[in-house]
């Protein structure tokens, strides 16, 4: 079966498995349209409440999940030399793939300008105050870009945890995890503790997902009721930019990356991980898909040594699909609010998208939440941009499914490239059409 057919099947199965969430979206659109013409303040308040409960529940598990996943991933590598060797190559490859995603998203958003259609929904007063906040932040930062990076090093990690500052948290956890990996067996109690934390937070995530359908319903209904159906006309350009960007990354960048850095054939790799791709699309969670991604890669000849190290860290730190979306979303917001996008600001958005995406957790919705980090860097907070965010939320779930598909695929692409470089691929298995048929 051809790769594009498998991707189409992934779409069908994903929708079938998550029919209740799709039902939530459709019902949300219908109820939202009704409420747009028959305003009811009580129902609107209830919908806002339910949507907020869903968002807060997801936010609640992000820190314990990310912290425990990084600690487990890094301490599971084994000896110190391996950590340095694979670690450097992994960061380089993941960095390259995410940087390309950000550039593709940025260029497409600047050419197609998806945010202009949304501008007339933003009141002039809000736009002016948002523009002023960005101008002030830029003035301060242009004087001292280094301060931005200084802020990434936490002088009090507990304070960063309490404030939910993701970048300093990750910096601290990475250093802590590498130290734990270096101290040997004495790390067992702490590692076991974080294994329990990880298992429990994954369980909580499962429970939160029961709430996904009403949560998405409420968010969609609130958004549609405040804007009406014509929101989809304004948002269609945004969705179009994203889909084109995702397709370029999937069908052009990944195959070229594999050709440049390895002997792996993209079609064979895509066929090997087709099942994981389908589950990624259906669940919109890289973490939930991880066991299957590892199983698919190992079944088709990528060694356990490489896949058990590179894939978990990828599922924790590599979110190129998310980075592409975040870049497009922030440029969309900037265009909608009339913020002037000078080269300094664009470079800052790009760099922050790389960092924000890698601080994201592999759970549904996390990518749109970590956008706050990019906005912080621009001197803004999501609350100031509520009207703009409401647009993005209307199609959040569908974009999440696509970006997670990319996140998981790129984890496998980088893993395959490293396995090739280290002579850790059994090509007889990878290129074996019989094994291919089994998965397809």
Contacts with 436 (C-beta within 8 Å, 6 or more apart), sequence order? 268, 271, 272
Distance, CA of 264 to CA of 416 (rounded, Å): 7
Q: Give me the least distance between CB of 287 and ligand ASP, in Å please.
A: 6
Q: Quick one: which of 364, 11, 408 has its CA closest to 209?
A: 364
Q: Which residue in the set 366, 374, 380, 435 belongs to the binding site for ligand ASP (CB under 6 A)? A: 366
Q: Which residue in the set 286, 316, 318, 431 belongs to the binding site for ligand ASP (CB under 6 A)? A: 286
Tell me if 145 sits within 8 A of 352, measured CB to CB: no
The reply on whether position 18 binds ligand ASP by CB under 6 A is no
Compute how many residues bind ligand ASP; rule: CB under 6 A. Answer: 16
Q: Give me the least distance between CB of 167 and ligand ASP, in Å please.
A: 16
Q: Which residue in the set 350, 365, 379, 388 belongs to the binding site for ligand ASP (CB under 6 A)? A: 365
Q: Give me the least distance between CB of 400 and ligand ASP, in Å please.
A: 5
Q: Give me the least distance between CB of 325 and ligand ASP, in Å please.
A: 7
Q: Which residue in the set 6, 68, 98, 322 belongs to the binding site for ligand ASP (CB under 6 A)? A: 322
Q: Which residue in the set 363, 371, 372, 395 belongs to the binding site for ligand ASP (CB under 6 A)? A: 363
| The CA-based dihedral angle spanning residues 380, 382, 383, 386, taken in that order and rounded to the nearest 10 degrees | 120
The stretch among 166-174, 249-257, 359-367, 373-381 that binds ligand ASP (CB under 6 A) is 359-367
Q: Give me the least distance between CB of 366 and ligand ASP, in Å please.
A: 4
Q: Quick one: which of 400, 385, 403 has its CA closest to 118?
A: 385
**Residue ranges in 290-319 that form contacts with ligand ASP under rule CB under 6 A:** 319
Q: Give me the least distance between CB of 407 and ligand ASP, in Å please.
A: 4
Distance, CA of 321 to CA of 275 (rounded, Å): 18
Structure-token pair, residue 365: 């919705």
Report the greatest alpha carbon distance in the chain. Answer: 66
Q: Give me the least distance between CB of 327 and ligand ASP, in Å please.
A: 12
Residue whose token pair is 């100031």: 384
Distance, CA of 250 to CA of 245 (rounded, Å): 9
Q: Which residue in the set 98, 285, 307, 415 belongs to the binding site for ligand ASP (CB under 6 A)? A: 285
Distance, CA of 345 to CA of 134 (rounded, Å): 9
Contacts with 225 (C-beta within 8 Å, 6 or more apart), sequence order? 31, 32, 33, 34, 35, 36, 39, 44, 47
**Residue ranges in 401-420 that form contacts with ligand ASP under rule CB under 6 A:** 403-404, 407
Q: Give me the least distance between CB of 144 and ligand ASP, in Å please.
A: 31
Q: Which is nearer to ligand ASP, 31 or 360 (CB)?
A: 360
Distance, CA of 197 to CA of 68 (rounded, Å): 6
DSSP type of residue 184: G
Tell me if 297 sits within 8 A of 424, measured CB to CB: no
Q: Give me the least distance between CB of 30 and ligand ASP, in Å please.
A: 26
Residue whose token pair is 């939440």: 369
Report the residue closest to ligand ASP, judged by CB: 367
Q: Which is nearer to ligand ASP, 234 or 283 (CB)?
A: 283
Q: Which residue in the set 106, 362, 379, 388 belongs to the binding site for ligand ASP (CB under 6 A)? A: 362
What phi and psi, each to the nearest 5 degrees, are found at residue 162?
-65, -35
Q: Name the residues that contact ligand ASP, by CB under 6 A.
A: 284-286, 319, 322, 360, 362-367, 400, 403-404, 407
């Amino acid at each position: 079966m051809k790769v594009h057919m498998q991707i189409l099947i992934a779409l069908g199965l994903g929708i079938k498995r998550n029919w209740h969430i799709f039902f939530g979206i459709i019902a949300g659109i219908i109820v939202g349209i009704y409420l747009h013409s028959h305003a009811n303040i009580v129902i609107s308040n209830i919908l806002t409440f339910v949507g907020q409960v869903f968002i807060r529940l997801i936010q609640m598990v992000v820190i314990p999940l990310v912290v425990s996943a990084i600690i487990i991933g890094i301490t599971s590598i084994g000896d110190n030399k391996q950590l340095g060797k694979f670690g450097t190559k992994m960061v380089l490859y993941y960095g390259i793939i995410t940087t390309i995603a950000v550039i593709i998203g940025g260029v497409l958003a600047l050419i197609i300008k998806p945010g202009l259609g949304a501008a007339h929904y933003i009141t002039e007063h809000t736009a002016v105050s948002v523009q002023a906040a960005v101008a002030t932040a830029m003035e301060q930062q242009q004087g001292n870009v280094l301060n931005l990076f200084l802020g990434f090093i936490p002088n009090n990690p507990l304070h960063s945890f309490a404030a939910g500052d993701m970048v300093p948290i990750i910096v601290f956890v990475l250093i802590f995890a590498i130290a734990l990996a270096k101290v040997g067996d004495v790390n067992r109690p702490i590692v076991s503790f974080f294994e329990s934390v990880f298992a429990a937070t994954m369980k909580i995530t499962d429970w939160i997902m029961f709430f996904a359908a009403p949560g998405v319903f409420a968010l969609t209904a609130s958004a549609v009721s405040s804007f009406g159906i014509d929101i989809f006309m304004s948002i269609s350009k945004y969705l179009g930019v994203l889909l084109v960007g995702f397709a370029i990354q999937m069908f052009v960048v990944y195959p070229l990356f594999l050709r440049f850095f390895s002997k792996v054939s993209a079609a064979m790799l895509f066929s090997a991980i087709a099942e994981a791709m389908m589950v990624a699309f259906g669940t919109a969670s890289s973490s939930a898909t991880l066991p299957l991604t590892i199983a698919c890669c190992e079944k088709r000849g990528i060694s356990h040594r490489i896949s058990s190290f590179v894939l978990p860290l990828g599922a924790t730190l590599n979110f190129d699909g998310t980075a592409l979306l975040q870049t497009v979303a922030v440029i969309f917001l900037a265009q909608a609010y009339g913020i002037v996008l000078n080269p300094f600001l664009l470079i800052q958005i790009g760099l922050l998208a790389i960092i924000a995406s890698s601080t994201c957790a592999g759970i549904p919705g996390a990518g749109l939440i970590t956008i706050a980090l990019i906005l912080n860097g621009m001197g803004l907070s999501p609350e100031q941009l509520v009207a703009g965010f409401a647009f993005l939320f209307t199609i959040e779930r569908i974009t999440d499914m696509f970006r997670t598909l990319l996140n998981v695929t790129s984890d496998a692409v980088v893993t395959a490239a490293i396995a090739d470089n280290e002579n850790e691929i059994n090509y007889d298995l990878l290129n074996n059409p019989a094994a291919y048929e089994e998965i397809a």
